[in-house]
A and B are shown apart, each in its own frame.
Chain A
């Protein structure tokens, strides 16, 4: 009767080294692939969130510009927007009843100021003394005022810093623009 020899189930040194080499190659490829996947994933996620931030910023600006009574540019490249004092009080959902004052439709007595400006890589909205960061990683926030103010159209462009590569700034980010008709200002004309 033969006895069982456990040593025969092991691998030779050559087999071990070959298997280790293959494993290293496979794991290396896997790690490299995962890192690339992660980098691509993060870049895509940043791109998507940047576009969402672009959309949010332009929606905020466009809404305030449409209802603005007056628009003035700021020294820091931002814009000050005066909007009607529409609500009866802070936090109230009840609007004021409009009045006709000197031939113009008026809400309240003093317009409310909303400001947009860029500081560092963020764009802020200041309303009622509260500053809110609407977007980060902003590479450009530009407002183009019309040469003919009677057109009452203002173009807003926002551009983000991309994270597509390790060398920042090697590629332009996506620019998003909107042209807004200043309805309140035009109508109050």
Chain B
């Protein structure tokens, strides 16, 4: 009998070798896969964390848009996806679901009255978008009003949470410092403990928007500024700062108190400085400043006197709405007296305002029991033209704050205004003219105008008649032109009051807990 050769050992060796090689390759592949997968997760989790910041920033922008709407479209602001927060808590003793007058409540905002709706505006998922890897990102935004400034204008606090779905499984990746920084919610929401269907990256941003007043500059024109005389002087003072004024008045001849913040700027491309002495800066929107040899810049900062990246949003002026008028006077064509009120402003609607000769319009203030003038308020809407000629004058009593809303052309000559108060007490607004129409506003320096003009639809001319003429305040127009020789002294206090023209972010904080 023939026996087969003994070959079992040879077959076994080949299998072991193959298994060994396979194990080595599999181990190397697994290690490679593990490391690559880990780095992949680190990168994607970091990317999702970055995207969540973009979502949070978009939420802030979204809220800022609504905040700005409060200026030019109040009824449309915080509508749509926005809902108002809950009102102040109360004890519903009769169980009818609403607060009755005799039911107790908690005055959370300490305003002395019950607020049925909260100050917070909430928006749910306003910007749902698909990001890298099919992930979804969106923002949750709340807006409230934590405080007001000295003028009673609100600041808005915007809290935006940017949320992004994280790609991949709910697996921890990266080093400890990564986890401390990014704080991903893998299975549950880190703050609320809510079970999540997908891991999420969340970024919390808090921004505070502050009001920006219209009179931030001595002169601001939508299209251009033309100063045509080298003897013109534009400078500033601060009526609210004793070190920068003379008992609140312009400190004429006091070089240490006169300020160099008489800034001029345009949204257009051209300023002809006319070699005028501008103690401040001159800015255009991508344009140039000609004849700028006497533009100084701010005191101590001569290197930044001219700049070309200026732009300021211009809010169109509309006639005040939802107010009641005192209809006892419909037109002023001769001497007259209009009485102000120490409570809510008294509103007058005039067809026109024309004074000539020695006629005067007196805006009468309110006195207290001791005969001292109190703060009082008056608003005058002039639907037609306004003109002062001859020796006519509009006289403000002490303490009278007046706002003119003019819809026609304006010519302030004669003796102009007599304003014993600060510039902020006299504000003149040019209502936006119909499309294709241009209005004009002329203010003569010999009347000693002391106030603020906001007329972005008007061609504003400041007319001089001699070296001693001065006007005090701030001017906003479609165009601004100065003729003759005179000075414009900008009261820096105007930058902290008057019309709110815009909102801008005053504080920014990204949470890291």
Query: Which A residues form the contact surface with B (CB < 8 A)?
Result: 1, 4, 6, 9, 34, 37, 41, 45, 48-49, 52-53, 55-56, 59-60, 63, 66-67, 83-84, 86-87, 91-93, 95, 97-100, 103-105, 107, 132-134, 148, 150, 183-184, 187-188
Q: Specify which of B31, B174, B507 is in contact with A105 (CB 8 Å cutoff).
A: B507
Contact residues in B for A93 (Cβ distance below 8 Å): 191, 513
Which residues of B pack against A, CB within 8 Å? 1, 3, 5-6, 24, 28, 31-32, 35, 39, 42-43, 46, 49-50, 146-147, 149, 155, 157, 174-175, 177-178, 180-181, 191, 206, 208, 210, 304, 496, 504-513
Taking a contact as CB atoms closer than 8 A, the residue among A48, A86, A92, A100 that contacts B155 in the complex is A100
The answer to whether B149 touches A100, judged by C-beta atoms less than 8 angstroms apart, is yes
Most chain A CB within a 10 A radius of its CB, from B32, B191, B510: B510
Tell whether A84 pairs with B507 under 8 Å between CB atoms, given A4-B3, A49-B39, A98-B146. Answer: yes
The smallest C-beta distance from B303 to any residue of chain A, in angstroms, reads 9
A63 and B42: CB pair below 8 A?
no
Tell me the complex Cα distance, A97–B206, Å. 11
How far, in whole Å, are A150 and B149 apart by their CA atoms in the complex? 25
Using known A-B contacts A52-B42, A99-B147, determine if residue A63 contacts B512 with beta carbons closer than 8 Å. yes
* Interface contacts beyond A34-B28, A56-B181, A187-B508: sample of 18 additional A-B pairs, CB < 8 Å, sorted by A: A1-B1, A4-B3, A9-B5, A41-B32, A49-B39, A52-B39, A55-B43, A55-B46, A56-B46, A56-B174, A86-B206, A86-B511, A87-B513, A91-B513, A93-B513, A100-B155, A105-B506, A183-B508
Among A55, A92, A107: residue with most chain B CB under 10 A? A55
In-complex Cβ contact of A98 among B31, B304, B507 (8 A): B507
Q: Once the chains are docked, how many angstroms separate the CA of A98 from the CA of B304?
A: 33
Please name all residues of chain B whose beta carbon is closer than 8 Å to the beta carbon of A48 when the two chains form the complex.
35, 39
- Rounded to whole Å, the gap between the CB of A188 and the closest CB of chain B is 7
Q: How far is the CA of A92 from the CA of B178 in the complex (A)?
A: 21
Q: Contact at A56–B506, with CB atoms within 8 Å?
A: no
A10 vs chain B, min Cβ distance (A): 12
> Please, could you name 20 A-B residue pairs with CB atoms under 8 Å apart, sorted by A?
A37-B28, A41-B32, A49-B39, A56-B177, A59-B46, A60-B177, A66-B510, A67-B509, A84-B507, A86-B509, A87-B513, A93-B191, A98-B147, A98-B157, A100-B155, A103-B149, A105-B155, A105-B507, A107-B507, A150-B304
- Select from chain B the residue with minimum beta-carbon distance to A59: B181
Instruction: Please report the C-alpha to C-alpha distance between residue A187 and residue B146 in the assembled complex, in whole angstroms.
Output: 18
Residues of A within 8 A of B513 (CB): 87, 91-93
User: B401: shortest Cβ distance to chain A, in Å?
Assistant: 22
**Given A41-B32, A100-B147, A105-B210; A67-B6 close (CB under 8 Å):** no
In the assembled complex, the CB of B313 is this many whole angstroms from the nearest CB of chain A, namely: 17
Complex CA–CA separation, A63 to B177 (angstroms) = 14
Q: Which residues of A sit under 8 angstroms from B35, Cβ to Cβ?
A: 41, 45, 48
Rounded to whole angstroms, the CA-CA distance of A1 and B155 in the bound complex is: 113
Residues in B whose Cβ lies below 8 Å from that of A67: 508-510
Q: Using Cβ atoms and an 8 Å threshold, which residues of chain A touch B177?
A: 56, 60, 132-134
Contact B510 A188 (CB under 8 A): no
Q: Please, how many angstroms separate the alpha-carbon atoms of A9 and B9 in the complex? A: 11
Distance between Cα atoms of A86 and B207 in the complex (Å): 12
> Which of B6, B149, B506 is the one whose CB lies under 8 Å from A188?
B506
- Complex Cα distance A134/B24, Å? 35
